[in-house]
Amino acid sequence: MNIKNGDSWEEDSENQEYTIAPSERKIITQGSDPTISRVCEWIDREKIEIRADFQRQYVWKNKALIKSRLIESVLLGVPIPEIYVAELPNGREVVIDGQQRLLTFHGFKNNQFALKGLTVLKELNGYRFKDLSNKEDPYLKKLIEAVGDLQDKFLDRSIRITKILKESHSDIKFEIFERLNRGSVKLNDQELRNCIFRGNFNDLLKELSSNKDFLKRQGLEENHERMLDRERILRFFALCDKTERNYKAPLKKFLNEYMAEKQNISDKELEQKRELFKKCLDLCLMVFGNIAYKRVRLGDEEGRDGYVEKNINQGIFDIQMCGFAEYAKRDVAPRAQAIREIFLHLVTSDDDFNETIEISTYGTNTVKRRMEMWMQAIREVLILPDQDRRCFTYEEKKRLFDADNICAICKGQIHTIDSAHVDHIERYSEGGETKIRNGRLTHRYCNLHRH
């Protein structure tokens, strides 16, 4: 089968509201007006975290004009927009809105850049913080006489900081963070979770997302820059632990609650989760290979072989990973090809299943239907006795394919074995045996559309 592009990420079309008791709908904040000097000290002591890995890089780093005019605004007494931070369980604080401003203040205090392009205090162009106290400089001398010590003026300038306290309801806090997040590149849900639910479980998600096999199967060479790989792993653990029976949309709330519950877990549970992820990843690679996590499209009159979409389908990722959670490798390995075949049948021939990976992917009923359909299918494959089987084995299909890869219906060539289906010559429903002498090779498309 050929590889073609598909949607790399699906958004849940449902816009469901949170169900939070009125008494819990609270966000608790605390305001303060520390000086720039004090804030820089907090940054140095790591009391306030300014470079959290959910944040964007210092995008103003090479934008001298923006940085310089911010410093000029401070010296002129121009109002500076409010800074927002969130209190972590350990008492430290993490910057939610205002990272670029604080990094600029800290960088200027530490002489990391010179002022440039100033239009009001143009005498300061070319100066660093350390130069502002040079009273021998004739230009500075007049300015200092007029406005006072420039270093003190910068360091003593107060800035408004609003702290969102840890006692705030986590769902409401999540919504507030989203609204404060008004940068040019909006932080997504997982980037926000990475800030709110810090702990050893979050560290585990980061660790597992670097698994080389996992990266390769997603088509990545390094971790996803927007943490979508971590959200996939989070979804896997949440669905395994809670099961689809306890899933309730919206997905965002479901994952937020799970991360809050698992924020700090025991070393034993960490190791169990590490082993579970590795086992299910290995089984997915063994069973599905190049179609792991991918949607396989049925062919048509113009191309009967069909194709594999290039990008990950989130619903398929969920069923393939979670489907192996309750099985050992020794149970799956002997029936690997049979599981692959039943997946190919579902994704190319079952309209009900395909609806669950296309429409409202993370609606409550959709998740339940998709998981139940796959769990039932894989369960039947793993417990069905060899003498009572309807489907031909992969080995039998391969023998027919190697002998003559011509479709018995359209007489055209079948180019890949995944595009092939083995049909009973004498119908199974009429007593036909599932044996190679009673099998013929067809395109999946042709078998499905035969008259």
> What pLDDT does 386 receive?
52
Based on the number of CB atoms within 10 Å of its own CB, is 37 exposed (0-12), middle (13-18) or buried (19 or more)?
middle
Report the alpha-carbon distance of residue 397 to residue 394 in Å, rounded.
5
If one compares 371 and 195, the residue with the highest pLDDT of the two is 371
Amino acid at 91: G
Mean pLDDT of 53-73: 76
pLDDT tens sequence across 170-203:
666 666 666 666 554 566 788 878 877 878 999 9
Mean pLDDT for 405-412 is 85
Position 19: which residue type? Answer: T
pLDDT band at 10 (very low <50, low <70, confident <90, very high): very low
- CA gap 102, 95 in Å, rounded: 9
199-240 pLDDT, tens digit per residue, is 899 999 999 999 999 999 888 888 888 889 999 999 999 999
Helix orientation angle between 99-109 and 64-76, rounded to the nearest 10 degrees: 80
CA-wise closest residue to 9 among 310, 428, 409: 310
| pLDDT in the model for residue 14 | 43
Single pTM value for the model: 0.61
Q: Which residue has the higher pLDDT, 12 or 59?
A: 59
> Exposed, middle or buried: residue 443 (CB in 10 Å: 0-12, 13-18, 19+)?
buried
Average pLDDT, integer, range 369-395: 78
Compute the Cα dihedral for 194, 197, 199, 202 and give only its sign.
negative
The CA dihedral of 47, 49, 50, 52, to the nearest 10 degrees, is 170
**Residue indicated by tokens 């931070």:** 85
Is residue 9 within 8 A of residue 314, CB to CB? The reply is: yes
Q: What is the mean pLDDT of residues 255-264?
A: 93
What is the structure's pLDDT at 57? 53
Question: pLDDT value at position 412?
Answer: 86
Average pLDDT, the chain: 84
pLDDT band, residue 385 (cuts 50/70/90): low
SS3 annotation, 140-185: HHHHHHHHCCHHHHHHCCECCEEEECCCCCHHHHHHHHHHHCCCCC
By DSSP bridging, strand 29-32 and strand 161-164 are antiparallel
Residue 422, strand partner residues: 441
- pLDDT of residue 112 exceeding 70, the answer is yes
**In this prediction, what percent of the chain has a pLDDT beyond 90?**
42
Q: What is the mean pLDDT of residues 279-294?
A: 95
Question: How does residue 426 score in pLDDT terms, banded at 50, 70 and 90?
Answer: confident
Band (pLDDT 50/70/90 cuts) for residue 54 is very low
In the structure, what pLDDT confidence band is assigned to residue 411 with cuts at 50, 70 and 90? Answer: confident
Domains and CATH numbers, the chain: 2-13+168-383 (no CATH), 28-164 (no CATH), 394-448 (3.40.1800.10)
- Poorest-pLDDT segment among 60-64, 269-273, 278-282, 435-439: 60-64
The answer to whether residue 297 scores a pLDDT higher than 70 is yes
Identify the pLDDT of residue 181: 60
pLDDT(140) > 90:
no
Contact 358, 7 (CB under 8 A): no
pLDDT value for 7:
42
422 phi/psi in degrees, rounded to 5: -100, 120
Angle between helices 228-242 and 314-323 (to 10 degrees): 50
The answer on pLDDT for 2 being more than 60 is no
Q: How far apart are CA 325 and CA 16, in angstroms?
A: 29
CA distance 201 to 234: 9
Residue 450 pLDDT level (bands cut at 50, 70, 90): low
Sign of CA pseudo-dihedral 364, 367, 370, 374: negative
Who wins on pLDDT, 7 or 163? 163
SS3 313: coil
Per-residue model confidence (pLDDT) at position 12: 42
**231 in Cβ contact with 145 (< 8 Å):** no
Tell me how far apart the alpha carbons of residues 426 and 434 are, in angstroms, rounded to a whole number: 9
Please name which of 74, 77, 73, 94 lies closest in space to residue 85, comparing C-alpha atoms.
Answer: 94
* C-alpha span between 198 and 87 (Å, rounded): 11
Pick from 52-61, 78-87, 321-330: least confident = 52-61
Yes or no: say if 320 and 372 are a contact pair by the CB < 8 Å rule: no
Residue 251 reports pLDDT greater than 70: yes
Q: What is the pLDDT of residues 77-108, one digit of tens each?
A: 888 889 988 887 777 888 878 888 999 999 99
- Tokens representing 372 are 């139940």
> Could you tell me the sign of the dihedral formed by the alpha carbons of 299, 300, 301, 307, in that order?
negative
